[in-house]
Amino acid sequence: MIKDITIGQYFPGKSLVHRLDPRIKILLTVLYIVMLFSASGFLGLGLGMIYLIIAFLISKIPIKMMLKSIKPIIPIIIFTGILNLFFVEGGTVLFSWWKLQITSEGLRTMVFMAVRIIFLICGTSLLTYTTSPITLTDAIERILSPLKAIKFPAHEIAMMMTIALRFIPTLVEETDKIMSAQKARGADLETGSVLQRAKALIPILIPLFVSAFRRAEDLALAMECRCYHGGDGRTRMRQLKAGVIDWVAVAVTVIFMAGIFVLNGLLPI
Amino acid sequence: MGILKTENLTHIYGEGTPFRKVALDNINLDIAEGEMVGIIGHTGSGKSTLIQHFNGLLKPTSGKVFVDGEELFADKHRLRDIRFKVGLVFQYPEYQLFEETVYKDISFGPKNMGLDDDEVDRRVKETARLVGLKPDVLKKSPFELSGGQKRRVAIAGVMAMEPKVLILDEPTAGLDPHGRDRILGLIKEYHQEKGNTVMLVSHSMEDVAKTVSKILVMGESNVIMYDTPEHVFAKAKELTDMGLTVPQITRVFVRLKEMGIDFPDEVYSVDYAKKLVLRLLEQKKG
Ligand SMILES: Nc1ncnc2c1ncn2[C@@H]1O[C@H](COP(=O)(O)OP(=O)(O)OP(=O)(O)O)[C@@H](O)[C@H]1O
Ligand SMILES: [Mg+2]
């Protein structure tokens, strides 16, 4: 059903990774991506993998969830894999047929790229699995806030993201309810031609829009009643504070990065 | 076998996630045709979950549901036909209105059933009369009606399908006392006129006591009682212990009994109470 669509895919928990300062977590994710892209050989990637596995074990996210996050990108992996396999030249020719040939370098690149994409997705999913969307937008607002000096509406953008995220589940639930109600009245959503199916959406979309507008109005009113007037001078209930553990995490990450650079220099395979 | 029956019905939301929740736990029910059932139980006891199983909107995690002797989900293609037998009115049904006119909205269900225009017309007019909508309202847009009127339009939309079983989820939620009485009145009238099975979920014992022939009491995800109002309210103490209220008049009589006056256990209607008191006074005099 429609509820199975996970957006934000937050997986609640109390692990160390969950508790890290979200700003630091974003920073670590960026460093991790840099790490992956600067690794020039499999040994470097291997170090990246060790980093990922450690973070993953600490976070206690079930392996099933991780695999689920890879599933949607499998077609991309296969597609780029095939391109790399046939069009990268160099090394010895392993196989050739008509105009196509597979070289050892092609094979290597294919595997290398595939592993890198998978690690990339796993690492970034770990961020969204362990950070609730609200905390994430909070962190983004804080990271972007220096840009306020050049009139960048950091607060407004974060508020819009927060509200949107807050209301996605509500709207999904609402859609579910309206769909059920119309199905109970015999609406047929599953069969028929494309045109018929598009028409069958009208009984769902109209009530949905009506209620979304009603909600938006109510929310705006409620916010104004509580004296919301933009971000100026607003204090926060949840203060973000980077502690010792956060800096330890940064230090560990930097060590891994250094390790990769060293490996690149010594054993660039 | 009655018109609605469940066998070891269990429903679990979010199986395999941290949000796992057993909403229904091994429910066995058999509801006879023509009954008017009131479902009570506090928030989160699984009332809405239960009724959505009766027309196949939710699939049991395990167990079976039978409608009119036919098992739901045994054949997927029959599901839509079974849905026409069991009409379900959701909580706040006015949010499902979408057509340009009230007439068109009420006719949405009957049209989906594939009825011809004359029959659709007959049904729309009849249900509009039944729920007390004047003919000129039929031409209006549903979005310009009052809350109570919208509610009646939405209920009419399901009634017009003439289901064998009509189920309403808190049909009086959010209405003023007058609107509440009118909705309950029209449901009762519908029941008397058609003789169909009706189920209604309610938070108000007062309303249920006035309207129904059987009461289904839900506890935390299971059925605690399914019996006539007399038998259910005879266990007033059990109900209040569970945090459910009993009708005011029952509370008064429980108190009187505790004070040593000999009254039967199951007083739940004011009329009956009046009779009892008068009889007692007669006895005192005589
Ligand atoms: N779609 C859903 N996903 C997950 N859990 C749900 C869902 N719907 C209901 N629940 C949970 O199942 C339990 C039973 O819910 P249900 O809506 O059936 O209760 P109810 O008796 O109708 O309550 P109310 O009187 O508040 O309407 C609740 O604990 C609720 O949180
Ligand atoms: Mg409910």
DSSP labels, B255-274: HHHHTT----S----HHHHH
| Closest Cβ opposite residue B112 in set A180, A188, A207 | A188
Q: Average of pLDDT values for B119-134?
A: 93
pLDDT tens for each residue of B142-193: 999 998 899 999 999 999 999 999 999 999 988 888 888 889 999 999 999 9
| Chain B residues in contact with A190 (beta carbon < 8 A) | none
Whole-number pLDDT of residue A8 = 53
Whole-number pLDDT of residue A55 = 93
Please give the structure tokens belonging to residue A197: 């199916």
* Residue count (chain B): 286
Cβ distance B157 to A185 less than 8 Å, yes or no, reads: yes
The fold for domain B4-228 equals Rossmann fold (3.40.50)
| Closest Cβ opposite residue B84 in set A178, A186, A207 | A186
B163 close contact with A: CB closer than 8 A: no
Cβ distance A183 to B57 less than 8 Å, yes or no, reads: yes
pTM value? 0.73
B15 close contact with A: CB closer than 8 A: no
Cβ distance A184 to B113 less than 8 Å, yes or no, reads: no
Nearest chain B residue to A3, by CA: B14
Amino acid at A257: M
pLDDT band, residue B244 (cuts 50/70/90) = confident
Whole-number pLDDT of residue B141 = 94
CA B215 / ligand 2 centre spacing (Å): 16
A199 close contact with B: CB closer than 8 A: no
Whole-number pLDDT of residue A269 = 57
| Chain A residues in contact with B168 (beta carbon < 8 A) | none
A242 to chain B nearest CA, in Å? 28
Whole-number pLDDT of residue B101 = 95
Whole-number pLDDT of residue A128 = 87
DSSP category for residue A147:
G
Cβ distance A206 to B87 less than 8 Å, yes or no, reads: no
CA B234 / ligand 1 centre spacing (Å): 28
Q: What is the number of other CB atoms lying within 10 angstroms of the CB of residue A188?
A: 13
Distance CA(B68)–CA(B197), nearest Å, equals: 11
Distance CA(B254)–CA(B247), nearest Å, equals: 11
Distance CA(B84)–CA(B82), nearest Å, equals: 5
By the 10 Å C-beta count (0-12 exposed, 13-18 middle, 19+ buried), B201 is classed as buried
pLDDT tens for each residue of B184-215: 999 999 999 989 999 999 988 888 888 899 99
B60 close contact with A: CB closer than 8 A: no
Q: What is the pLDDT along chain A (269 residues), one digit of tens a residue?
A: 444 444 457 888 888 899 999 999 999 999 999 999 998 888 889 999 999 999 999 998 888 888 888 888 889 899 998 888 888 877 777 777 777 788 888 888 899 999 999 999 999 989 988 988 888 888 988 888 888 888 888 888 888 888 887 888 888 889 999 999 999 998 887 777 888 888 889 999 999 999 999 999 999 999 999 888 877 777 877 778 888 999 999 999 999 999 998 888 876 65
Sheet holding B197-201, edge to edge: B86-89, B165-169, B197-201, B36-40, B214-218, B223-227
Whole-number pLDDT of residue A268 = 60
A182 close contact with B: CB closer than 8 A: yes
Give percent of chain B with pLDDT exceeding 70. Answer: 100
B84 to chain A nearest CA, in Å? 7
Q: Average of pLDDT values for B211-226?
A: 92
- Ordered by start, the domain boundaries in chain B are 4-228
B88 to chain A nearest CA, in Å? 6
Q: Which residues of A128-140 are buried (b: 16+ CB within 10 A; e: fewer)?
A: bbbbbbbbbbbbb
H-only helix segments in chain A: 16-19, 22-38, 42-59, 63-70, 74-87, 104-130, 133-144, 154-184, 194-200, 202-225, 244-266
Query: Residue B157 is inside which H or E element, if any?
Result: helix B147-159
Please report where in the chains the tokens 């494309």 appear, as a residue.
Answer: A194
* Average pLDDT in chain B: 90
